[in-house]
Every structure is written in structure tokens, then in C-alpha cells.
Amino acid sequence: MADESGSHGKRVCMVPERARIHMALTFLQSSNAVQHIVIRSVLNMGVNQLIFPVYRSITALLLLFPFAYFLERKDRPPLNTSLVMQFFLLGLIGVTCNQGFYLLGLENTSATFVSAVENAVPAGTFLMAAVLRIEQVHLNRKDGKAKVLGVLASVAGASVITFYKGPTIYVPPSTSPSGQSHMLLSLFGDAKEKNWTFGCICAIGHCVCWFSWIVLQGPVLKKYPARLSVTSFTLFFGILQLSAIAAYVETDSQEWQIHSGSAVLGILYVGVVASAMSYAIQLWAIDKGGPVFVSVYMPLQTLLVDIMDSVIMGAQFYLGGIVGAVLIVAGLYLVVWGKSKESKFGKEMKSKTSPVPLNIDNQIKYYSEEEKESSLVQPLLPTSSK
């Protein structure tokens, strides 16, 4: 039994790190795609939109805190005022403002629109990381051009899926358009009689908070290399901020109660999968691949939502979905290829600038000559001390 578990661990370790990053980011965007449907459903069940993110973040923190405390006990540097302020800022941007803007945008527009606006996150992440010198962009080299083209292709692919349908490619058997429309409206909600302009502004604010959060986590990890602890501190300060806002606005205790078992399951899914696991995966991937590499997977979420609409909900699949999918995959490939070439170029430059190590024969010759020189300089008789 021990041998089997050991061999299984070896097989897992034999998976290349780059492949593990790809699988983790694919899972991350899959959970985010399901999250849109689950959150819209939970809000339609009557859960307060200010109290929902509080319960979501508490669930995520309860899951992550034990792992952070025990697994990173030796890796956590001592806290200081600067780190606490940075954790507070990450909680404000990545949890409080990010979730708040998302829910306000979702309520006043639609899940489809918010998912479409999120496709601006890779471009925003790329620009912010380049301005802050976190991501190096060499436009005079092939790797720099490939990364720029990859980000643009991914954003373009997601935009095609969202705004261009084209001819129908796949029609699910025995589907009723009226039944589908009713089901989609019950899950996603509609944007009738709502403040569309305000919702658009909130959706854009959600994207700005998201890519700012992705970029700013990189420097914090260099100062505090304990990923689960960083996520836990971020959630902790986010919970304090969200709870203060919710307690000030919602004074009725009835609003804090959950009356549906389905709503509880939805909160657990969003808290465990779409928050705790996703935040930990995102931070790990940022540490390993960089913020731009993580954000370029965002358009994959739109493709997955489109596939889910067709397979699970019985919606038709259009040519725009195939064209967008090709662009997204091409964009991901260009960014991965650019990052690989950039890493290879950096290793080559490092090897050229590093001094050439002496081999064994040269070391023996060097030290023997040094000993000879030192013996000639030494006096034959020791000097007498007076």
C-alpha cells in the first residue's frame, strides 16, 4: 500500500510544472464559468446581495485558514505594519470592491454582459504589469510580439463569442425556445427596468479591481512567500470590510437569514470552489507564471459559458463560438510560446554573463601555484617577538 501511494506521488511529481499550471488555470476558469450561473440563481432565491459576499468569504476563509496555519508555519515571515497595510489593500481591492462591483453590475445588467466585460481583464493586466515593470515586454523580439498578439487574440476571440453569432452549427434535439428563454431568465435574470448605465460602470469597475488585484499580488508574494497565508489575510480583511458595510446598510436581522437549502448549497459552492480553491490556484499560478499568464486564460471562461449553454441548457451553438474558440486557443498558444522563449532567452543571457567555472585540473594548478608563491614570501626563520 505504501509503495502504491509512493508511486502515485511520483507520477504526480513527474507532471511538468507548466502542464500543472495549464490544468489549474483551466479548472479556475471552469469554476468561474459555473459561478455566474450559481450566483445569479442564489440572488434570485432572495439572498441579499450585500450579505451574500460576507457568507461567501467566511466559507472560503474557514476552509483555507487551517491549511495556511499548519502547512506554512515555517514559511511565514514575521508580520509588520507595511505587510498588514498591503493585506488590507488586497482585501479592499480583490474582495470588497471586486465582489461589490460584480454583484451590482450583475443585478443591473446581466450575467452574459458581465462575463463579456471581464474579457478586458487580460489587456488591463498586461498594460498595468508592463507599466509597473512587473512584466517585461520586448517589442523588438519575437517573444514580446507573441505575448502582445496572444493577449489581443484572446480578447478578440471572447468578443466574437459574445457579440457575433453567425449561422447555427449545432441545434440540440427537441428543444423549446420558449422553455429555454424562461429557464435562462430564471437563472441569469434580465436587465429590464434596471439602471443599465450604472450596471455598466460597476462591471467595468469590477474588471479594474480584478486585474489590479492580480497584478498587485505578485510584489506581495515576493515579500511574503506564503501563498495560502496571503489569501487568508486578504479574505480576513475583506470579511471585516464587507461585514461593516452590510451591517450599516442592512439593519434588519431577517435579511441575514438563509431560508433555502439550495441557496446554502450555492453559497457553499461559491465559497469553497469559486473562492477558496480559485483564490489559492490563482495566487499559485501568479507566483509560478506571472500575472499576464494567469489573466490570459480569462477569455476561456466565455467559451465555457457558451458550451454550457449549448450542452446543459439546450441552447444553440453558432459559428461565432467556433471562430472565437480558435482565436482564444491561438492567443493562449502565442502567450505560452512567448513566455517560453522569454525564459529561454533569459537563461542564455545568464549563462553568457556568469563566470566560467574552473575544472579540477585548473583548480589544482591554481592552488598549487598559490601555495608556492606564499612559501617563497614566508621567511625561513620565524621572527622573534619581543
Cell numbers given for 368: 598549487
User: pLDDT tens-digit profile of 212-241?
Assistant: 999 999 899 989 999 999 999 999 999 999
User: pLDDT tens-digit profile of 40-52?
Assistant: 788 888 888 899 9
The answer to whether residue 4 scores a pLDDT higher than 60 is: no
Predicted confidence at residue 91, as pLDDT, reads: 96
Q: Is 169 helix (H, G, I), strand (E, B) or coil?
A: strand
Predicted confidence at residue 357, as pLDDT, reads: 52
Residue 84's φ and ψ, nearest 5 degrees, are -60, -40
Mean pLDDT value across the chain: 78
Candidates 87, 21, 56, 31; CA nearest to 232 is 87
The pLDDT of 354-360, averaged and rounded, is 51
Given a contact cutoff of 8 angstroms between Cβ atoms, the answer to whether 321 and 303 are in contact is yes
The answer to whether residue 328 scores a pLDDT higher than 80 is: no
The answer to whether residue 193 scores a pLDDT higher than 60 is: no
Other Cβ atoms closer than 10 A to 247:
13
Predicted confidence at residue 86, as pLDDT, reads: 96
Please provide the DSSP assignment of 328-383 as one string: HHHHHHHHHHHHHHHHHHHHHHHHHHSPPPP-HHHHHHHHHHHHHHHHHHS-SSPP
Candidates 52, 96, 28, 40; CA nearest to 279 is 28
Predicted confidence at residue 309, as pLDDT, reads: 64
Given a contact cutoff of 8 angstroms between Cβ atoms, the answer to whether 203 and 107 are in contact is no
* pTM, rounded to two decimals: 0.72
User: pLDDT tens-digit profile of 134-147?
Assistant: 777 777 888 888 88
Cell numbers given for 61: 476563509
Predicted confidence at residue 172, as pLDDT, reads: 62
Predicted confidence at residue 146, as pLDDT, reads: 83
What confidence tier does 196 reach under pLDDT thresholds 50, 70, 90?
confident
The answer to whether residue 185 scores a pLDDT higher than 90 is: no
Other Cβ atoms closer than 10 A to 326:
13
Predicted confidence at residue 106, as pLDDT, reads: 80
With residue 385 as reference, give the H or E element that holds it: none
The answer to whether residue 186 scores a pLDDT higher than 60 is: no
What confidence tier does 38 reach under pLDDT thresholds 50, 70, 90?
confident
Predicted confidence at residue 13, as pLDDT, reads: 56
Predicted confidence at residue 121, as pLDDT, reads: 81
The answer to whether residue 326 scores a pLDDT higher than 70 is: yes
What confidence tier does 188 reach under pLDDT thresholds 50, 70, 90?
very low
The pLDDT of 288-314, averaged and rounded, is 74
What confidence tier does 123 reach under pLDDT thresholds 50, 70, 90?
confident
Residue 131's φ and ψ, nearest 5 degrees, are -65, -40
164 vs 96: which has the higher pLDDT: 96
What confidence tier does 334 reach under pLDDT thresholds 50, 70, 90?
confident
What confidence tier does 95 reach under pLDDT thresholds 50, 70, 90?
very high
Predicted confidence at residue 354, as pLDDT, reads: 57
Please provide the DSSP assignment of 34-95 as one string: HHHHHHHHHHHTT--TTTHHHHHHHHHHHHHHHHHHHHTTTTPPPP-HHHHHHHHHHHIIII
The answer to whether residue 94 scores a pLDDT higher than 90 is: yes
What confidence tier does 380 reach under pLDDT thresholds 50, 70, 90?
very low
Alpha-carbon distances, residue 216 vs 40, 211, 225, 313 (angstroms): 29, 9, 14, 37
Q: What percent of the chain has pLDDT over 70?
A: 76
The answer to whether residue 280 scores a pLDDT higher than 80 is: yes
Predicted confidence at residue 149, as pLDDT, reads: 87
State the Cα–Cα distance between residues 167 and 159, nearest whole angstrom: 17
**Residue position matching grid coordinates 513566455:** 339
Candidates 320, 281, 317; CA nearest to 297 is 281
The answer to whether residue 8 scores a pLDDT higher than 60 is: no
State the Cα–Cα distance between residues 91 and 241, nearest whole angstrom: 8
Predicted confidence at residue 358, as pLDDT, reads: 47
